[in-house]
Amino acid sequence: MINKTHQPDAKSWVDVPEGSDFPIQNLPYGIFSTNDHPQKRVGVAIGHQILDLEKAAKHLSIADKSVFSSEVLNDFMALGKEVHQSVRTELFDLLSEGNTTIDASYLVNQSDATLYIPIQIGDYTDFYSSEEHATNVGIMFRGKDNALMPNWKHIPVGYHGRASSIVVSGTDLHRPKGQKMPPNADAPVYGPSSRMDIELEMAFVVGKSTALGDTVEAEEAEDYIFGMMLFNDWSARDIQKWEYVPLGPFLGKNFGSTVSPWVVTMEALAPFRVAGPEQSPTPLPYLQTTGPRAFDIQLEVSLQPEGLAPQVICNSNFKYLYWSMSQQLAHQTVNGCNLNVGDMCASGTISGPTKDSFGSLLELTWNGTEPITLSDGSQRTFLEDNDTIIMKGWCEKDGLRIGFGEATGKILPSKK
Amino acid sequence: MINKTHQPDAKSWVDVPEGSDFPIQNLPYGIFSTNDHPQKRVGVAIGHQILDLEKAAKHLSIADKSVFSSEVLNDFMALGKEVHQSVRTELFDLLSEGNTTIDASYLVNQSDATLYIPIQIGDYTDFYSSEEHATNVGIMFRGKDNALMPNWKHIPVGYHGRASSIVVSGTDLHRPKGQKMPPNADAPVYGPSSRMDIELEMAFVVGKSTALGDTVEAEEAEDYIFGMMLFNDWSARDIQKWEYVPLGPFLGKNFGSTVSPWVVTMEALAPFRVAGPEQSPTPLPYLQTTGPRAFDIQLEVSLQPEGLAPQVICNSNFKYLYWSMSQQLAHQTVNGCNLNVGDMCASGTISGPTKDSFGSLLELTWNGTEPITLSDGSQRTFLEDNDTIIMKGWCEKDGLRIGFGEATGKILPSKK
């Protein structure tokens, strides 16, 4: 799938600063509006600009141009891979150095635009696919000998989460309140979470539906994936710990999750495909695939306390995940569960092998026993009010760099 | 809230047979189409008929009549309790004996109509609110001394389920395939579930949205509930058992859930309000309510093997539930999780105190050790291919009877 849209030396007539997440080889989709045209519509990020696809649609061969005037990407996603591929090639040409079909009047400064959650999300699944994360959490809660559950190496473990509270980067969230059981207490208490955590994840968006009863073969699963985003699965550990037995996380998670505004397509990610970790024991046949199914996506988390500069607290990589997106999707549908365009599946916390690559404060501070020291000398175990978390992700190889932008959010004090 | 629409002796000019689920005091909403008018639209069940609200809308004072031409009830639900109450009163008048404003030309035979899932479901939550069910399952899996988890009497335990695979009564489902760990095996195997079960539940539908960060007081929670339906939470116990630790049920549940086609409104249910079980220990203040919050709804489950008559296997009652819908909804939002119109919340299996009131085969056959004997002498532990399950529900008091219709589904053999 390496074609001209992946050439590292390709340039756009739009200015793309060195190190930008959005060179001409990326072309991620989002939903934006502007003050002078407040209707939400589809755009593509290029450098510091957005190409307005509602306006540019007349230069594209796509039959149904109304998909670019939609408030969500779902209608465009539903058109299928062939259309996505041809739109990508045409956008690449329109934006290529020397092409004069369109000009700067088709562009909007990202700083002049409001970005929205780009997907009408149907069902949202959260997987648990990092062996390092599952092991770390297991050691903390059950000890070294029972760290991984018996099913973990056989099943891409996952559960359903809350779609309504998934918000776009830049949306601040109030610290959740709820029930928690203090250590050594006789009865639970009600109050704000005192163990506010993050989970560094990525999510993929389903771009092709299935009928109830149908299954998706692991080998074909990528046909059903439109693209990827950064995902912060905010977690209130005290609420989660008290509630999660036996039916899983609920209020410890569903007060909010943050996604980045741009959906990077699988076509753009193609050059960064790598092999994932070796899997032993060999998964059951319905989970087997050929060829590399992981992606080399560098991930970075920064914590920014009020009034201080952001400080990097984690560097990880999407390629560390034990279970691939193909396996996750094959598993999700093996029982006939149907997919809709706009369904979202998150990876689970993406922790790497070293301590500085752990994707949650729970792991980074080892359950609060090893605090992080900040630039002003203060310490963090879990998040304080008005702390901001900034997640970034990018791929880099042979002079080609494409990025995901940011998934950023601030934890405001609890509402009265 | 007892008003003229609840008078037991009120009669309609539409024929309503003795014992019908749909007398003039019920007026449940659904979505239907007919051969000669295949567009989905809103109707109200009355006797064996459906009042076509698209057609009757001109006789109602509601401002936006287009809500009755919608393919789902969401737009109507979003109009609020005052509108629902006034439409109910006007429909009651239009259908009352002696009223000649409309006639039989506004009616469609239910047998001539196709019924659809009446809600565009947003997020779906499944609670676990029957003490008897939680205790039974706990005894089977953890023994008598640890039957109820420590959180159970403090929290209306719940988890998020799959909205995409909720289907309307009459939709047959294929037996799901998946991973399961046979007893004493070294490794999991792949294949059709051999422990196909049911869960007798009811669901309520959210009719009023909240903003992210807001909470709903338990005392006010019923303002956010539009109505109720029967709900069969089909469960593949072998798949569920292997997968559910530590993040809860996933593929053991999400291959399909069946709802009844008619939404019975909270206004119709008002005469059947009763006190629920006494709660000890006293719940935290955010879960406290005044006045009776349970509803006396009789529930019945029948199993119909291919070629045999249906056989009742369970009689239960919604009033057995330990946690009320008000408490469930207050808990769901205590952390600021937002509600959308169309969200659905199921009760969890509704088991009563006696063995014939258990709401799942797991309990009725005590984990398969005490099979049910059928009319032809054959036995059931879990469901066989082509078994049909029929769930019914109704309220009865002082000569007034309103019902929910049926939630029916057949388990077809696994797909190849």
The string of pLDDT tens digits covering residues A171-212 is: 999 999 999 999 999 999 999 999 999 999 999 999 999 999
Instruction: Tell me what pLDDT residue A105 has.
Output: 98
Secondary structure of residue B5 in the 3-state scheme: helix
Bridge partners, residue B33, by sequence? B114
Confidence of residue B141 (pLDDT cuts 50, 70, 90): confident
End-to-end CA distance of chain B: 54
Instruction: Tell me what pLDDT residue A3 has.
Output: 87
Give residues with Cβ within 8 angstroms of B38, minimum separation 6: none
Tell me the CATH number for domain A124-412: 3.90.850.10
pLDDT > 70: what percent of chain B? 100
pLDDT > 70: what percent of chain A? 100
pLDDT beyond 70 at A2: no
Instruction: Tell me what pLDDT residue B146 has.
Output: 85
Task: Specify the pairing of strand B257-259 against strand B166-168.
Answer: parallel
Residue B170 contacts A where some CB pair is shorter than 8 Å:
no
pLDDT beyond 90 at A146: no
**Which residue among A122, A161, A255 places its CB closest to the CB of B164?**
A122
Instruction: Tell me which residue of B35, B36, B32 sits closest to B53, measured CA to CA.
Output: B32
Residue A176 contacts B where some CB pair is shorter than 8 Å:
yes
Q: What is the pLDDT of residues B360-401, one digit of tens each?
A: 999 999 999 999 999 999 999 999 999 999 999 999 999 999
pLDDT beyond 90 at A141: no
CA-based R_g, chain A, Å: 21
Secondary structure of residue B267 in the 3-state scheme: helix
Neighbours of A47 (CB within 10 A): 19
What is the rounded (10 degree) CA torsion for B361, B362, B363, B369?
100
Question: Do A158 and A380 meet the contact criterion of CB atoms below 8 Å apart?
Answer: no
Instruction: Tell me what pLDDT residue B272 has.
Output: 98
Average pLDDT of span A91-96: 98
A224 a known binding residue?
Answer: no
Give residues with Cβ within 8 angstroms of B18, minimum separation 6: none
Chain A neighbors of B151, CB-CB under 8 A: 181, 188, 242-243, 245
Size of interface A-B (CB pairs under 8 A): 197
Catalytic annotation present for A331: no
Residue B152 contacts A where some CB pair is shorter than 8 Å:
no
What is the pLDDT of chain B when averaged over all its residues? Answer: 97
State whether ipTM is beyond 0.90.
Answer: yes
State the architecture of B4-116 in CATH terms. Answer: Roll (2.30)
Residue B400 contacts A where some CB pair is shorter than 8 Å:
no
Confidence of residue A38 (pLDDT cuts 50, 70, 90): very high
Rounded Cα distance, B288 and B218, in Å: 6
pLDDT beyond 60 at A287: yes
Instruction: Tell me what pLDDT residue A398 has.
Output: 93
Contact B256 A212 (CB under 8 A): yes
Residue B338 contacts A where some CB pair is shorter than 8 Å:
yes
Q: Do the domains at B4-116 and B124-412 have one common CATH topology?
A: no
**Which residue among A254, A331, A335 places its CB closest to the CB of B337?**
A254
Q: Which of residues 201-220 of A touch B (CB under 8 A)?
A: 212-215
Can you give the pTM of this predicted structure? 0.97
Please list, residue by residue across B103-140, b when 16 or more beta carbons sit within 10 angstroms of its beta carbon and e when fewer do. eeebbbebeebebbbbbbbbbbbbbbbbbbbbbbbbbe
Task: Specify the pairing of strand A49-52 against strand A37-46.
Answer: antiparallel
B124 a known binding residue?
Answer: no
Q: Which of B6, B37, B84, B133 is catalytic?
A: B133
Domain ranges of chain B: 4-116, 124-412
Average pLDDT of span B171-190: 97
Contact B247 A157 (CB under 8 A): yes
Question: Do B232 and B257 meet the contact criterion of CB atoms below 8 Å apart?
Answer: yes
pLDDT beyond 90 at A85: yes
Average pLDDT of span B119-124: 98
Instruction: Tell me what pLDDT residue A142 has.
Output: 83
Contact A123 B163 (CB under 8 A): yes
User: Which pair of structure tokens corresponds to residue A316?
Assistant: 């990880």
Instruction: Tell me what pLDDT residue B2 has.
Output: 60
Residue B164 contacts A where some CB pair is shorter than 8 Å:
yes
Chain B neighbors of A166, CB-CB under 8 A: none
CA-based R_g, chain B, Å: 21
> Taken in order B275, B280, B282, B287, is the CA torsion positive or negative?
negative
Rounded Cα distance, A4 and B251, in Å: 41
SS3 content of chain A, % helix, strand, coil (to 5): 25, 30, 45
